A and B are shown apart, each in its own frame.
Chain A
Amino acid sequence: GQQVMQIPQYQHVQEGEDFTTYCNSSTTLSNIQWYKQRPGGHPVFLIQLVKSGEVKKQKRLTFQFGEAKKNSSLHITATQTTDVGTYFCADPAGGTSYGKLTFGQGTILTVHP
């Protein structure tokens, strides 16, 4: 089935450093969603990207969708301890799999104060 590959699996940063996670697909995505899961918590929706080359910002978080709609990235500027958690990209399958999401493996971010 369709897969989205997410890298890196782990990222350790010092507070104040930047962080980026990447999501790649072998096929063209209709759109892509990003979720955050705090330690011990549940995934929470962050954003959805729809258009080729789209860039959206949420405070220190910048989300990009590639021109070919085969990749996406999440960049956090000047990380804070509140940014710790696992970040997932997710591909809405569409078609006959209406409403389903295929998740990347996630990137676990730790931030050292």
Chain B
Amino acid sequence: DAEITQSPRHKITETGRQVTLACHQTWNHNNMFWYRQDLGHGLRLIHYSYGVQDTNKGEVSDGYSVSRSNTEDLPLTLESAASSQTSVYFCASSPGTGPSETQYFGPGTRLLVL
């Protein structure tokens, strides 16, 4: 069955380290998204992509980067991890064939920055 996976599921890192969170989907969806979830803030969009070689900044993109070299993957990189980036990170995808599509979420990655 098609799915969307994230790895690792849990990560502890130190301030200043570079961290990459993986997201992989097998639906052949064009659109992929990264969100962070913090209590009281809901889901906030970090970066998104409409297809290969396309990336766009979301509302909380500072300190994060993404790259889209193929349809299936959108890795999220924290260039120099900060304690403020401790959060739960969700990847999502949608087909990219219409304006108001359902998004399908991965299981999430819990990141702790010490």
Mark A residues whose CB is within 8 Å of B.
1, 6, 9, 30-31, 33, 41-45, 48, 50, 88, 92, 94, 98-106
Contact = CB atoms under 8 A, between A and B. Distances in A.
Interface in B31-65: 31, 33, 35, 40-45, 48, 50, 58-59
Interface of B: 31, 33, 35, 40-45, 48, 50, 58-59, 90, 92, 94, 96, 99-108
Contacts of B107: 41-42
Contacts of A6: 42
B90 A43 contact: yes
A92 B27 CA distance: 21
A99 B90 contact: no
A92 B90 contact: no
A42 B106 contact: yes
A13 B40 CA distance: 20
Contacts of A94: 99-100
Contact of A98 (B41, B50, B59, B92): B50
Contacts of B92: 43
B42 A104 contact: yes
26 contacts: A6-B42, A9-B40, A30-B99, A30-B100, A31-B100, A33-B100, A42-B90, A43-B43, A43-B105, A48-B102, A88-B42, A92-B99, A92-B101, A94-B99, A98-B50, A99-B31, A99-B48, A99-B94, A100-B58, A101-B45, A102-B45, A103-B42, A103-B43, A103-B44, A104-B42, A105-B40
